[in-house]
Each structure stands twice: as C-alpha cells, then as structure tokens.
C-alpha cells in the first residue's frame, strides 16, 4: 500500500497529554503534520504543543462531551482550514475482580474508551468527509483476547474495534478510511500504573510469551505512524499482534481454562487489588471530574 505524505496534513490526536498520544503527536509533527491536541490535562497539552516542530494548538475537553467535542471539531477546522487525520486514542483503565469493582470507575472506562471514541467520530467525521481523510481508532490486544481482572477494559476495546469495523463500511464510499490500531502492553503511565499493583503485575507476567512483556513506546508509535501514512485498516504496534488475529477464535476457551487456575492461585490476595482508574491519566480524569 502506498504511503501518503504527512507534510501539511492536519492531525487530531485525543489523549495527547502523555503516553502514546503525546509521542504520536511529536512523531506526526516531525513528518510535517500540523497537530490539534485534545485531552483533559491543559498544562501537559500546552507543553506538548510547545515542543512540536509544526503549527499546533491544544484543546482542553472531555471526549465524552458531545457538545464540547462538536465545538472542538469546528474550531480545529477554523484554525487549520481542514482535518485530514483523527486518532481516537484517549483511554483509561481499571483492574481487579468484577464483583468487587468500583461501579463508577468501571462505567468511566466504558464511557471514555467506547463512548468517547464514538463522540470523537461523530464530531470529526463531517470534516473528514470533506478532506477524504482517515480515522484511526486505537484498540488493544484486549480487543483480541479476553483477560481476567480486566472486564471493563476488554469490553471497551472490543467495543471500539467492532464500532470502527462497522463504521468503515458506512463511510468508505465517501472517501473516509477507518483503521483500528492494536497495542499490547506498552511502556506508558497506564501500564506502569497497573504494574504498581502486585497481583495485577504478577498475573500479567504469567501470561504466555510474547503477551507477558512490556514493549518500548518508541517502536510501537513508529508502527502506528507507518499505519497512518498507509491509511491502513489494521495497524499493529507490535509485530506479533497480526498473528493473533488468526487464532482469536480459540482464545476465550484457553483464557477461560488457564484464567480459572490463575484466579484460584491469587484468590487469597484479591482483596488487596485497587479497583479505581490506574496511572497518571486515570488520576487526571478523576481530578477533572472532581473525584
């Protein structure tokens, strides 16, 4: 598939204050794209904007807010004249046993990851239709395989994968391409925050190779950038994730069997697992909502 030059293109990145979103914005800017940074952390977003190589501006907004995101889409178009690329990257995570989970945190994962992605698409698709642009929805290994202690995150990422695949069929004839980006455990604040919990860290380490490793952020984002340049339908931040697609039908049974054994092993320690949002991004989300 041929590459599209990013020089002069306008890219919107949600969740751009840290992690995947922040580095993606930097790498897209280094290739000549103008960047609209969207997120909940105004100070971090301004710092990111100040470090970019091209024109950039930040919008402090909650991606679950329909009215605010529609306004942002209009303002981005007014500021830059068009929108060519939108990366729906904003996300939060929580862990722990579902029965003991914090219902507010569980719901918030669904709201940000799934509803927020849909709100982002609804806001920006009209301008992407004008430019015949590209929407990349960030999903996860969690969309391909279930995992115990991650019910909200797996549900949200399975949801955004299905949503994006459905959307691709709807908007393709209008010139808009839709991609799904898959990442395994990648070295971000979210993963480091989850690893602060001993049980969650040990449970992950007992996953089969290569899904038990944490992968460096830089190469993962390089692969995402390459997918954006190709307007790819599927973007794999780690090479082996592509191969998971062929066996995903078998994974629920395997995880169901192995997971039961591991949960029995960890049961005496499950009461210590934190059930709130994890990492610095999770803390920022809670602070923005006054929790």
Q: How many CA atoms lie within 13 A of 42 on its CB side?
A: 5
Q: Distance between the two ends of the chain, CA-based, in angstroms?
A: 46
The helix or strand, by DSSP H or E, that contains position 10, with its residue range, turns out to be strand 10-14
Count of C-beta atoms within a 10 Å radius of residue 285: 24
List all residues 6 or more positions away from 27 whose beta carbon is below 8 Å from its beta carbon.
Answer: 221, 222, 225
Q: Per-residue confidence of the chain (291 residues) as pLDDT tens digits?
A: 688 899 999 999 999 999 999 999 999 999 999 999 999 999 999 999 999 999 999 999 999 999 999 999 999 999 999 999 999 999 999 999 999 999 999 999 999 999 999 999 999 999 999 999 999 999 999 999 999 999 999 999 999 999 999 999 999 999 999 999 999 999 998 999 888 889 899 888 888 888 889 999 999 999 999 999 999 999 999 999 999 999 999 999 999 999 999 999 999 999 888 889 999 999 999 999 887
Which of 195, 191, 160 has its CA nearest to residue 178? 160
Residues belonging to the active site: 153
pTM for this structure?
Answer: 0.96
């Amino acid at each position: 598939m041929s590459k599209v030059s990013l020089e002069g293109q306008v890219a919107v990145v949600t969740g751009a204050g840290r992690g995947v979103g922040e580095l993606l914005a930097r790498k897209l800017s280094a290739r000549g794209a103008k960047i609209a940074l969207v997120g909940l952390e105004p100070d971090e977003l301004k710092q990111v904007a100040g470090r970019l190589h091209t024109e950039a501006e930040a919008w402090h907004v909650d991606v679950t807010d329909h009215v605010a995101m529609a306004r942002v889409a209009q303002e981005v178009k007014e500021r830059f004249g068009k929108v060519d690329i939108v990366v729906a990257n904003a996300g939060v995570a929580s862990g722990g046993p579902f029965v003991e989970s914090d219902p507010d945190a569980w719901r918030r994962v669904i709201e940000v990851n799934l509803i927020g992605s849909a709100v982002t698409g609804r806001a920006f698709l009209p301008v992407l239709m004008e430019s015949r642009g590209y929407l990349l929805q960030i999903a996860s290994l969690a969309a391909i395989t279930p995992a115990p202690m991650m019910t909200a995150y797996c549900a949200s990422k399975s949801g955004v994968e299905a949503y994006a695949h459905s959307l691709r069929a709807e908007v393709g004839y209008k010139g808009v391409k839709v991609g799904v980006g898959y990442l395994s455990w990648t070295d971000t604040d979210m993963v480091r925050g989850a690893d602060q919990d001993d049980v969650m860290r040990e449970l992950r380490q007992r996953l089969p190779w290569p899904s038990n490793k944490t992968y460096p952020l830089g190469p993962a984002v390089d692969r995402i950038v390459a997918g954006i340049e190709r307007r790819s339908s599927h973007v794999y931040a780690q090479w082996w994730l592509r191969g998971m697609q062929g066996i995903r039908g078998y994974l629920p049974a395997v995880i169901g069997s192995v997971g039961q054994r591991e949960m029995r092993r960890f049961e005496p320690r499950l009461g210590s697992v934190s059930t709130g949002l994890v990492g610095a991004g999770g803390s920022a989300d809670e602070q923005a909502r006054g929790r």
